[in-house]
């Protein structure tokens, strides 16, 4: 018999081996190390609006299934924007927060959300907890496509967004990638890359093994500067990156931009067996073309060198289209307990989905590849 335990407020008391046996080795963002680093570093904790309530299903004391779940007290750090829904609830006198969220904090990467077996048991338990706490909404962000129908069967509404993904088309190397582009884009990319090189900037590719205390300090200074320029506090603490480098050293990949031996910018990525994930970016100087070089061209070159076939640089960003990243749907699932809100959102999503699909189709018509390489 499967017994659902009470919601767990932390991964700290959950055996890493048991959790990872459910998560698998192909999805680093749902690994115990990654999720625990977010909590242990005080990045995703109740004090920052991420109150963990992870659901675990056990059989004879053995972990059979797990569901990352958070009580969210705001909508920041999610990359699926529901602020209009929250505002509508506020004007109607409904309490939108706290809401339930099944996602990887600050990480808009598709992957499994229902880990292990007994997925139905986990969803049903979540819905029971939602009703018991009188929570109005439950949101599931970027679930694997294989999970979509199951979430929809329990009344979750699908919402389509767009992301831009680079895929290896048999380019061979970076010169092969450039050769597949039309003449205009080849010239523009060459000009962008020369401007960075002429500015005296050189790149080093680092893994977690290369990140000593001094390098981590420089790395975090670059990351945090992006937030400070906007007058905001960084989502992630310095300790998060230290834990990540120590626990997932082979998974962490950094493209460090240096001038005269000093790090002035960095693109911080993660990888698995076939995909590079662009995750965080920061720069101490505004150098023309530096963002494109660090976040796109260095990553494409790395994929081709390492035999990775896919590069997911993060959500949104139409400027990625001109650099060879093609639009693809990005999905989230939403359960709304209030009938009026559910009906309004359902109707709005029909119109929104049609517009997003039309946008994807239009973007695909403007990819920069030569016609004979499409």
CATH of the domain at 259: 3.40.630.30
**For the chain, what is the mean pLDDT?**
95
The answer on 290 and 173 residing in a single domain is: yes
**Residues 139, 35 share a domain:** yes
Reported as a pLDDT band with limits 50, 70 and 90, residue 1 is: low
Identify whether residues 143 and 285 lie together within a single domain.
no
Task: Specify the DSSP class assigned to residue 210.
Answer: G
Condensed to tens digits (0 to 9), the pLDDT of residues 331-348 reads 999 999 999 999 999 999
Give the per-residue pLDDT at 229.
Answer: 86
CA distance linking residue 57 with residue 34, whole number of Å: 21
Instruction: Find out whether 292 and 185 touch, Cβ atoms under 8 Å.
Output: no
Are 69 and 205 found together in one domain? Answer: no
User: Domain span at residue 25?
Assistant: 2-162+328-364
In-domain check, residue 319 = no
Place of tokens 């496509």: 145
pLDDT at position 2 is 59
Which residues lie across from 369 on neighbouring strands? 181
Q: Is residue 287 part of a domain?
A: yes
Q: Are 138 and 25 found together in one domain?
A: yes
Region 359-368: mean pLDDT is 95
* 272, 346: one domain: no
316 located within any domain: no
Predicted pLDDT of residue 374 = 61
Confidence check: pLDDT of 8 > 80: yes
CA–centroid distance for 79 within its chain: 8
pLDDT tens-digit map of 298-326: 999 999 999 999 999 987 788 999 999 99
* Full DSSP string of 316-346: --GGGGGGTPEEEEEEEEEEE-SHHHHHHHH
What's the domain count of the chain?
A: 2
Q: Does residue 104 contact residue 111 with C-beta atoms inside 8 Å? A: yes
pTM of the model: 0.96
**Percent of the chain scoring above 70 in pLDDT:** 98
**Is 264 a domain residue?**
yes
Residues 43 and 156 in one domain: yes
Same domain? For 256 and 353 the reply is no
Q: What is the pLDDT of residue 347?
A: 97
**Overall size of the chain counted in residues:** 374
- 281 belongs to a structural domain: yes
The answer to whether position 355 is within a domain reads yes
Q: Is residue 55 domain-shared with residue 129, that is, in the same domain?
A: yes
Query: Residue 341 to residues 84, 137, 335, 351: CA-CA distances in angstroms?
Result: 12, 10, 10, 16
* 25, 156: one domain: yes
pLDDT tens digits for range 94-121? 999 999 999 999 999 999 999 998 899 9
Beta bridge partners of 143: 111
Query: How many C-beta atoms surround the C-beta of residue 353 within 10 A?
Result: 15
Question: What pLDDT is recorded for position 330?
Answer: 96
Tens of pLDDT, residues 12-51: 989 999 999 999 989 999 999 999 999 999 999 999 999 9
Q: Where are the alpha helices (DSSP H) in the chain?
A: 16-23, 32-40, 83-91, 119-132, 148-153, 174-179, 183-198, 213-228, 238-247, 290-292, 298-306, 339-364
Asked if 59 and 110 sit in the same domain, the reply is yes
| Two tokens, residue 192 | 């962008």
Mean pLDDT, rounded, for 229-245: 95
Q: According to the model, what pLDDT value does residue 4 have? A: 63
CA distance 49 to 76: 9
pLDDT of res. 257: 98
Kindly tell me if the per-residue pLDDT of 57 is higher than 60.
yes
Is residue 3 predicted with pLDDT exceeding 70?
A: no
pLDDT reported for residue 118: 87
Q: Is residue 105 part of a domain?
A: yes
Q: Is residue 298 part of a domain?
A: yes
- Supply the Cα-derived Rg of the chain in whole angstroms: 21
Helix (H, G, I), strand (E, B) or coil at 103: coil
| CB distance 264 to 284 below 8 Å | yes
Same domain as 147, residue 21: yes
């Amino acid at each position: 018999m499967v017994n659902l335990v009470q919601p767990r407020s932390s991964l700290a008391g959950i055996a890493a081996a048991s959790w990872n046996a459910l998560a698998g080795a192909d999805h680093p963002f749902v690994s115990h190390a990654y999720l625990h680093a977010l909590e242990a570093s005080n990045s995703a904790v109740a004090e920052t609006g991420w109150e963990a309530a992870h659901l675990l299903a056990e059989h004879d004391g053995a972990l059979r299934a797990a569901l990352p779940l958070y009580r969210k007290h705001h909508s920041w750090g999610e990359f699926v924007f529901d602020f209009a829904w929250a505002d509508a609830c506020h004007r109607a006198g409904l309490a939108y927060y706290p809401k339930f969220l099944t996602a990887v904090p600050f990480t808009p990467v598709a992957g499994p959300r229902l880990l292990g077996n007994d997925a139905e048991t986990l969803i049903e338990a979540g819905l029971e907890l939602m009703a018991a706490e009188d929570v109005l909404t439950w949101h599931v962000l970027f679930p694997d496509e294989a999970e979509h129908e199951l979430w929809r069967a329990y009344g979750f509404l699908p919402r389509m967004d767009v992301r831009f993904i680079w895929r290896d088309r048999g380019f061979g190397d970076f010169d092969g990638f450039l050769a597949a582009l039309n003449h205009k884009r080849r010239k523009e990319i060459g000009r962008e890359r020369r401007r960075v090189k002429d500015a005296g900037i050189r790149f080093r590719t680092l893994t977690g093994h290369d990140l000593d205390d001094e390098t981590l300090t420089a790395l975090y200074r670059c990351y945090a500067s992006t937030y400070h320029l906007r007058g905001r506090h960084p989502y992630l603490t310095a300790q998060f990156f230290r834990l990540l480098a120590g626990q997932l050293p082979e998974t962490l990949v950094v493209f460090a931009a240096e001038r005269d031996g000093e790090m002035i910018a960095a693109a911080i990525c993660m990888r698995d067996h076939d995909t590079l994930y662009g995750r965080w970016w920061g720069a101490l100087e505004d150098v023309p073309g530096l963002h494109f070089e660090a976040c796109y061209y260095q990553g494409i070159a790395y994929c081709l060198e390492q035999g990775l076939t896919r590069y997911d640089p993060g959500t949104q960003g139409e400027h990625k289209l001109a650099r060879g990243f093609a639009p693809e749907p990005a999905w989230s699932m939403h359960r709304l307990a209030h009938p009026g809100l559910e009906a309004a959102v359902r109707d709005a999503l029909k119109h929104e989905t049609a517009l997003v699909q039309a946008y994807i189709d239009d973007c695909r018509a403007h990819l920069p590849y030569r016609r004979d390489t499409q």
